[in-house]
Structure 1
Amino acid sequence: MLLTVVADYGVGDLAFAEVRQRFASLLPEADVFAIPVPPFDTVSAGFCVAQLAFGAGPADRILYANVAPRADEDAPRESNAGERLLAARLPSGVLIVGVAAGASLSFVADERVVFRAVDVPAEGSQFRSRDLFPDAVARLVRGDDSLLREVVAVGAAPQRSVAYVDGYGNIKTSWYEAPAPPGSRVRVRIGSAEAEAVVADGVFTVPAGELSFAPGSSGWPRGGGGGDRTSYELFARGGSAAEIFGNPAAGTAVEVRAAG
């Protein structure tokens, strides 16, 4: 059993170790793996959850997403209350459990996946992902769906935006179709930075030193059929696209227009 924790605790942070220890006591048979995203970055978290949930892997895997900026209310929060915990089971058998914050569950919900509220307190601890939520996750893993309550609507993921930046500086986007025919030169603007790129059918189909905008390695089947949703990414051959565009945050709009 593979349990992947997608959270913004920080690379090598003590919090990941504490959550892993908690799951080791509740689900000792699970292999717990951590995926860090930047602080409060629900867009990157949501993209990672969708990629892992819809990708190839064992049917008994679990995606546990916890990026909870507690930004749903500006007023003071009593007892460290935060966003609710939701869950969904895919037809493949994959279990997704995550905090309903920002776009953390949006990429999955966009594929017609229905999320339900989990009957677990949303307050009572600053560190809910260690103290409150793992018990509910373990019960769901064991098949106890009595915790599931009403269906909760999840907002759409940002379109034509930065979705995730990988370790090579490749910018994965929520563009899923080519903005122009392959070989076309376009101007790409992200925030205040702008650069020229070549629309391609593969990221490496440009010479060294060029920037390509092409379907990358990330994507998943569209909900309800209709083929795959493949993420276009900005790839700087021999460099870092993220650096070229000033290391943009996930959720930043990616604007594309014809060059010249």
Structure 2
Amino acid sequence: MFISLIADYGIGDPAFAEVKQQLLLGIPQAQIHELSVPPFSTLATGFWIAQLGLNPGPAERLIYHNCAPRQDDPEARRNNEGEGLTYALLTNGIKVVGVNAGYTLSFIKNYAKEIYTVNVSRGGSQFRSRDVFPPAAAAIAHNDLSLLGNPIEPSQILDVPLDRIAWIDGYGNIKTTIPAHTLNLEPETKIVIRIGDIVSDAVYSDGSFRVPEGTLAFAPGSSGWTGTDGQPLRWMELFLRGGSAWARFGKPKVNQAITRLS
């Protein structure tokens, strides 16, 4: 069993080690890969659930995610209660277990055979992904679905916002939630992009490296999967050849809006 552990604990945070120990109690032979997303970023969490879950990989896979801002109720929390645990079975057979918060399920909601609540406590610990959820995830990994509760319809889950920063990679490339097929531009068309208070010229490209050094390109990126229509779905990226698009725009955060002014 290959497990992708996606959480907002922070890069190098010992919380990852603690959660991995608990998962390995129930799935001793598992190989666990951890991926850290920014604090409370349900958009980045949902993006990576889909990117890892909907692309080729080991057949025996589980995605275990935890990004729970506890924003479903603004009132004071009793017993550390938070958003509830869910189970999704993707159309390719990959299992996804984690908290339904914000956009965590938005990218996969139309690629799931089924989505259910999981009948485990919503409270009991500040660190539920270590203390409460792992036994349920292990049971589901072993095809024990006795803890499943009510079905969740896709209409109950937020849609993906189509104008946001989904991720900033190690090169400073900005991955967006803008589908490439929604643009109808000729290659080398000059455009203007705004993120926050910063505006920059850019060039639309059908391939990031097909621009001169120092040029900000707006191009279909490396992230995406097969769409529900069977056609390739690619997400647009901002790419500064020889530099950092992220720095060009003042180091914006994941989830910030992106506006094309021309």
Aligned positions of 1:1-260 closer than 5 A: 1-111=1-111, 114-152=114-152, 153-177=156-180, 178=183, 180-223=185-228, 225-258=229-262
Q: Deviations over 1:203-252 (max 9, x none)?
A: 111111001010111001112x2412101100011111111112222222
Superposition TM-score, scaled by structure 2 size: 0.95
2:46 is paired with a residue whose SS is helix
Alignment check: 8 A CA contact 1:110 1:156 kept: no
Instruction: Give the whole-Å Cα distance in 1 for the aligned partners of 2:112 and 2:18.
Output: 33
1:174 is paired with a residue whose SS is strand
Alignment check: 8 A CA contact 2:90 2:112 kept: no
Taking a change above 3 Å as real, the CA distance of residues 86 and 220 of structure 1, as seen in their structure-2 partners, is same
Alignment check: 8 A CA contact 1:211 1:237 kept: yes
2:149 is paired with a residue whose SS is strand
Runs of 5+ unmatched residues, structure 2: none
> For the aligned residues, what is the CA RMSD?
1.3
1:149 is paired with a residue whose SS is strand
Alignment check: 8 A CA contact 1:66 1:99 kept: yes
Q: Deviations over 1:111-149 (max 9, x none)?
A: 465421011111101000001101000000110112112
Identity %: 44
| Equivalent position amino acid for 2:244 in 1 | S
Alignment check: 8 A CA contact 2:90 2:111 kept: no
How many residues align structurally? 257
Of 113-122 and 130-139, more deviation after overlay is shown by: 113-122
Taking a change above 3 Å as real, the CA distance of residues 173 and 179 of structure 1, as seen in their structure-2 partners, is farther
The structural deviation recorded for 1:25 is 1.5
Q: Deviations over 1:17-46 (max 9, x none)?
A: 100111122111110110001111111111
Instruction: Give the whole-Å Cα distance in 1 for the aligned partners of 2:257 and 2:33.
Output: 30
Instruction: Give the whole-Å Cα distance in 2 for the aligned partners of 1:246 and 1:28.
Output: 44
Runs of 5+ unmatched residues, structure 1: none
| Equivalent position amino acid for 2:197 in 1 | S
Q: Deviations over 1:55-103 (max 9, x none)?
A: 1101211111100010111111000000011111123221011111111
Alignment check: 8 A CA contact 2:83 2:100 kept: yes
